[in-house]
Structure 1
Amino acid sequence: MFWGLQFSLLNPALALILAALLDATPAEIGWVLAVYNAGGFLASLVLPAYADRRGEYLRPLLACAVLTAALAAALASVTTLPLAVIALVVLGGPAGVGVTLLYAHLKHAGFTTSTVINVRAVVSFAWVAGPPLATLIIGRLGARAVLVALTAIALLNVATSAAMLTGRTRQQPTPPSSAEAPDAEAPMSRARVATVTAVFVVLQATNATVVSIMGLFVTDTLGINVMWSGAALGVAAALEIPALLAIGRLTHRFSDLALIASGCLAGVAYYAVMTVVPGPMLLLAAQVLNAWFFATIAGTGIALFQRIIPRPGLATGLFTNTRRLGAIASGPLIALAALTPLGYRAVFAACAVLTVAALITIRLAGRPGAARTTVSEMAEARAE
């Protein structure tokens, strides 16, 4: 909960903090966030890879918590935008890898796929609570107060990480049995891992696109109040939590790929409905499909990457970056609204087509025999 709350407070409020404390213009905020996200992209590859080589995830996790407290202090004290950028890249980039390392630790310590997905549900709950809490704090106490709250949460993360380090030797979880992990096979070949990664970038891009255009779709296409956009996204986020908990139970009975396929089918249905939705009631009802789609991508996706890539840190870091790459790839999809008379409905139609293509591709990548690496690839992985 604390790790999810940490950056669900900072990231949505960062633009407001930069504008309020450093008088940043919209253009300046845009390039600052771009540099910050680029730093986070690199950190989520380098730091988990370092943890993999050491076989140690809790100490880097503790360091991430300390860096978060340092970032909050730096943002509260800097007086120029370039110094804020340096703080965001040097401190914020590595600090943002904390949740990734937490998932990697769970896998390395032998916790079941169900546990990993349940933890993802808790993080999702934090993201439901975090942004409203951040805006409430800013509205009542000002932008600097968010940094005080961030420092407090970071210190709680220091305490919980230290407690996990202390208690690690006292209790070791039992590694998952084959009954708990229907997909427990050898890792996939590198070519197939690259294929699965590309598929998830596409799926993440469709979700990022929908989140970005929802406000404009509601006002420009449906002609209703923008509040329905927030309501739709809020319903989807709230339903994502029970969906993740249900998926955690279903992992005992169904494979990763089967669950992801069910999510893709729900995604296709959701995007198809959105091309014809006439008003707010069907808009809200359709979020059931959207919640299941994203829950399978976000929850089962972590489990799949940890299964097909033998190093937990690299696996989770790579999965995390599919979200960032998907957000970048959403730009051309959003641009479709200006190229066709259907407007934003064309964007949903394109998302449906891409999701069908992703479903077919991932089923082919996961067909029998796809999960086996060659002898040379296994030797290279051990050497690395």
Structure 2
Amino acid sequence: MRSPLVSASALFWGFQFALLNPVLALLLVGLYDASPTDVGWVLAVYNAAGFLAAIVIPAWADRSRNYLLPLLLCGVLTLCLAGALAVTTSLPVAVVALVVFGGPAGVGVSLLFADLKHSGAPPSAVINTRAIVSFAWVAGPPAATFIMGALGNRAILPVLAVVAILNGITTVAMISKRRSALADGSGDAPAPVATAEPVARSLVVTVVIAFVLLQATNSAAVSILSLFVTERLHLPLLWSGIALALSALLEIPALLLIGRLSDRFSGFALLASGCAAGVVYYAAMTLLRDPVTLLAVQPLNAWFFGTVAGVGLTLFQDLIPRPGLASGLFTNTRRIGAIVSGGIIAVGSSTALGYGGVFLICAVIALAALGLVAVVRRQAGRTRAG
């Protein structure tokens, strides 16, 4: 299964929502005359649907031990979503389409990683595949805004439909390849779902809390960076875009390097290095005063989020012996973290440091998460040794 088809599938699934999610608010306003209040509640409902789907659909796939057929279904739902949004001018209909089609369709990436784990892929392969998804998120948002700026807001929907079709084609090809390999004896059946020794539920809860905190710091930092740059550093808004773009670009080689290092170092060790880099990055952001330093610390941010995104996924898959549930639960730490980030921003920005206080709180939270990771590492080692 670890073939060019997997890489192509990761790229297309990454593009699918890298094209839609960053411009969804703009679509709601431009196509359906949504007010700012409408945008808020629609996005909340849409994300809630995605949260539930990320638990229910992977759990169903775990029971059937088949991740490619649900993956194909997610591609079909994406095509339905693009069609529904293209033909309607009604906001309520668009909301129904986002909930019924968009929420479940967003589980596609989780299912792809679950299938990788189920088919016996090592952590390095999972992390390298995650780097491809990151590339799609670097290229997707500017491509979407360019298309919408040149051809109109609705023009992004046919593009989304084409990507959904490509997702379907690659998934069908993977299904066919696997069946052919099994039929002629040239391939082995996927490994059983239970590929890791189970650990105590309390440890799973602890690692979920740690990753919610880590994801929350990243979400808060990204959300307020433009305000930090303009109001605290008194720099043009352009610098925040440059900093975010640099961090996103560096995340790809960081993930590739993490993938290679995963064969030599444990996931816990790599994650600890990422948490430490995050603490240093957030602390540095409270002290810097010029654009050169702003850019100079972005490699720390890239390493931090690279370990959270790449090692975090493989860690969940190692601790939770159900690949679908593990991938879906990891995906949802991002959604919950985004909610928690609102509180971080509210408290941090009210301090004497202003928006710098947000980064200071993020440094403290990242340090606390590092402590939780250390606890999980020690307890998991004892459980498996016993």
Band of TM-score, shorter chain:
over 0.9
Deviations 1:144-168 (A, max 9, x none): 1100000000000000000000001
Deviations 1:33-74 (A, max 9, x none): 110000000000000000000000000000000100100000
Residue 40 in structure 1 maps to residue 53 in structure 2? no
Aligned to 1:380: none
Shift of 1:339: 2.1
Deviations 1:357-380 (A, max 9, x none): 1111110111155563799xxxxx
SS in 1 for 2:378: coil
Report the TM-score, using the length of structure 1 for normalisation. Answer: 0.93
8 A contact 1:109–1:172 mirrored in 2: no
SS in 2 for 1:152: helix
For the aligned residues, what is the CA RMSD?
1.7
8 A contact 1:263–1:293 mirrored in 2: yes
SS in 2 for 1:168: helix
Aligned to 1:233: 244
SS in 2 for 1:76: helix
**Structure 1: any 5+ residue segments left out of the alignment?**
177-183, 376-384
Q: 2 CA distance for matches of 1:209 and 1:126?
A: 22
Where do residues 191-230 of structure 1 align in structure 2 (5 Å cutoff)?
191-230=202-241
Deviations 1:218-275 (A, max 9, x none): 0000000011001101000000000000000011001110000000000011011101
Q: 1 CA distance for matches of 2:204 and 2:61?
A: 21
Q: Percent of counterpart pairs with the same letter? A: 58
2:121 counterpart (106, 111, 120) = 111
Aligned to 2:315: 304
Q: 1:40 to 1:368 in 2, by over 3 A?
A: closer
Q: 2 CA distance for matches of 1:142 and 1:232?
A: 28
Q: 1:173 to 1:2 in 2, by over 3 A?
A: farther
1:287 counterpart (298, 310, 331) = 298
8 A contact 1:110–1:173 mirrored in 2: no
1:23 counterpart (15, 33, 37) = 33
Residue 10 in structure 1 maps to residue 13 in structure 2? no
1:154 counterpart (147, 164, 171) = 164
2:107 counterpart (93, 97, 111) = 97
8 A contact 2:348–2:361 mirrored in 1: no
SS in 1 for 2:197: coil
Where do residues 167-182 of structure 1 align in structure 2 (5 Å cutoff)?
167-169=177-179, 170=181, 172=187
How many residues in Structure 1 have an aligned counterpart in Structure 2? 368
8 A contact 2:62–2:322 mirrored in 1: yes
Q: 2 CA distance for matches of 1:369 and 1:5?
A: 36
Amino acid at match of 2:357: A
Q: 2 CA distance for matches of 1:337 and 1:251?
A: 35
2:352 counterpart (329, 333, 341) = 341
SS in 1 for 2:324: helix
8 A contact 1:111–1:173 mirrored in 2: no
SS in 2 for 1:372: helix
Aligned to 1:163: 173
Aligned to 2:6: none
Q: 1 CA distance for matches of 2:14 and 2:171?
A: 14
